[in-house]
Structure 1
Amino acid sequence: MNRILIAEDEPRIAAFIEKGLRSHGFTTSVAIDAQSTADMATGSSYDLLILDLGLPGRDGLEILEQLRGQGEIFPVIILTARDDIQDKVAGFEAGADDYLTKPFRFEELLVRVKARLRNATTSQTQEEMVLRLGDVILDLRSRKIKVAGQAIELPAREFTLAETFFRNPGQVLSREQLLDRVWGYDYDPGSNIVDVYVGYLRKKLGSNLIETVRGMGYRLRA
C-alpha cells in the first residue's frame, strides 16, 4: 500500500484529492503549510509527494529543493495554479518529477501518480528493496522478514511499523509520527495502539532492537 503526502493548504482541494486517492487504495496524509510539509516529508516513509507551490510560510519550490538537498528521492508531483512555462521549468529544475496545473481532473492526477510510483519502483535496485540491521532483514518486495536466518511472519500492520523503523535507524519517532505513518491517524492519538504493536515487534525481532526514549517515543538501535 503506497503512502502519499498531499501538501495543500486549501481544505476543499486537499479533501478532494485525499478522498479520491483513498478510494483507489492509497494511504494519505495532508500537510497544510510549508513547515509541516518539510517536517513530514523529511526522513519519511512516503512513496510520493503531491506538492502545491503556494503553501503558507515558504514557497513550495524552496521546500522541494530542501528535500532533494537532503537526499529525499521519492517522486514529487507539483500541483499548482502557476501555469507559466518559466514556473514549469523552475519546478523541474528544483527536482520535480511531474507538473500538473489547476484546475485539474482527478483522473489525470491519478494516472500521473500511478505512473510515477511505477517508475520509482522499477528504478529501485535490489539493495534498496532490502533493509538490513544486524541479523534482521526486511525484504520489501516479498514483504517478508528474517531474524538470524529464521523467517518470521508479520501481519501487514506490524510489517509496516517495522519498515518505518528500519527506514529511520537511530531516529527517535514519536507516537504521533508512527500513528501517522502506519495508521494514517485512523486511531485516536491518545490510544496505546503504538505501544502495543511495538511490544509485538520486540517479541518477534528481539527485545533490545527497539528502545523507548522516555517522553519522546521509540528508536531503532542503529
Structure 2
Amino acid sequence: MTQVLLVEDDDVIREATQLALERAGFRVSTAADGLAGLDRFRAQPPDVALLDVMLPGLNGVSLCRRIREESRVPVLMVSARDDSVDVVLGLEAGADDYVTKPFDTSVLIARIQAVLRRSGWSGPEEDAFVRFGDLEIDRAGLDVRRAGQPVDLTPTELRLLLRFAESPGTVLSRDTLLASVWDYAWGGDTRVVDVHVQRLRVKIGQERLQTVRGFGYKLRAEP
C-alpha cells in the first residue's frame, strides 16, 4: 500500500482527507503542524507527502524545503489560497504539484497517483503477479489471462484494468478513472469511461467490474 504523509492543521479537513485516502487504498499517517510533520516524515518515510501551506510551527513551504534536503519523495502542496505567488513559492521549494482547497477528493487522489507516476518514485514493492478469480494480471509483463487464456486488451483498456487492480474492492468514480487513466488535466467527457469499462467487461467477464450506481465502478476480487 502507498504510504501518504498528510500534514494539515484543520482537524475536520485532516480527518476527512485521511478517510477518503484510506478508502482509496492508501495508508495514511498524519500530523497537525509542520514540526510534527517533519518528525513523522523522518520516523516513517512516506511514498508521497501532502502538505498544507499554512501550518503552525513550520509552514508548508519551509517543511517542503526541509524534506527536499533529505529526500526526493513526491510532494503536493495544499492551500486555500490560489495566489500565483504561493504556487511559485511551493514549486520553487521543491513541490511536485499544487492543489487548491476546497478540492474534490477523487481529483486529489488522481493528482497523487499522477505525481507518483511522473516522479518515477517506486514506493513499496508490489506483487508483480495478481489474481482475481480466473483473471490473472502480470503487472511487470503487462500480460492478462482469463482462465489461462490470453486476453487481448488495447493500451487504454490495459491501463484501466491496472488502475482497478491497484485498489480491488474500492469504488472508483468516473472522474478518478478519467484523471488517472487519461491524465487528470484532460477535460474530457466522463462517458468515455463508461464505453471503455463496457469493452473491458466483455473481455474479462461482465461480473468482474461492478457498477455502483451514482458513484462509479469497482473491481470484484471474487465474482
Aligned residues with identical type, % of pairs: 35
How far residue 44 of structure 1 moved from its aligned partner, in angstroms, is 3.5
The code of the aligned residue for 2:107 comes to E
1:191-210 alpha-carbon deviations (Å, 9 max, x no partner): xxxxxxxxxxxxxxxxxxxx
Matches within 5 A, 1:1-222: 1-42=1-42, 44-70=44-70, 72-120=71-119, 123=120, 140=125, 142=127
Counterpart CA distance in 1 for 2:73 and 2:57 is 23
How many residues end up aligned between the 2 structures?
129
How far residue 142 of structure 1 moved from its aligned partner, in angstroms, is 4.9
Tell me the SS of whatever aligns to 2:66.
helix
Show structure 1 runs of 5+ residues with no match. 130-138, 144-222
How far residue 42 of structure 1 moved from its aligned partner, in angstroms, is 2.5
Across the aligned residues of Structure 1 and Structure 2, the Cα RMSD in angstroms comes to: 2.2
Q: Which moved more, 1:3-12 or 1:40-49?
A: 40-49
How far residue 19 of structure 1 moved from its aligned partner, in angstroms, is 0.7
| TM-score normalised by length of structure 2 | 0.53
Tell me the SS of whatever aligns to 1:42.
helix
Counterpart CA distance in 2 for 1:141 and 1:103 is 32
How far residue 17 of structure 1 moved from its aligned partner, in angstroms, is 0.6
Tell me the SS of whatever aligns to 2:5.
strand
Distance 1:27 1:84, change over 3 A: same
The code of the aligned residue for 2:57 comes to G
| TM-score normalised by length of structure 1 | 0.54
Counterpart CA distance in 1 for 2:92 and 2:118 is 19
- Could you list the structure 1 runs, at least 4 aligned residues long, displaced by more than 6 angstroms after superposition: none
How far residue 9 of structure 1 moved from its aligned partner, in angstroms, is 0.8
Show structure 2 runs of 5+ residues with no match. 129-223
Counterpart CA distance in 2 for 1:142 and 1:107 is 25
Counterpart CA distance in 2 for 1:142 and 1:108 is 26
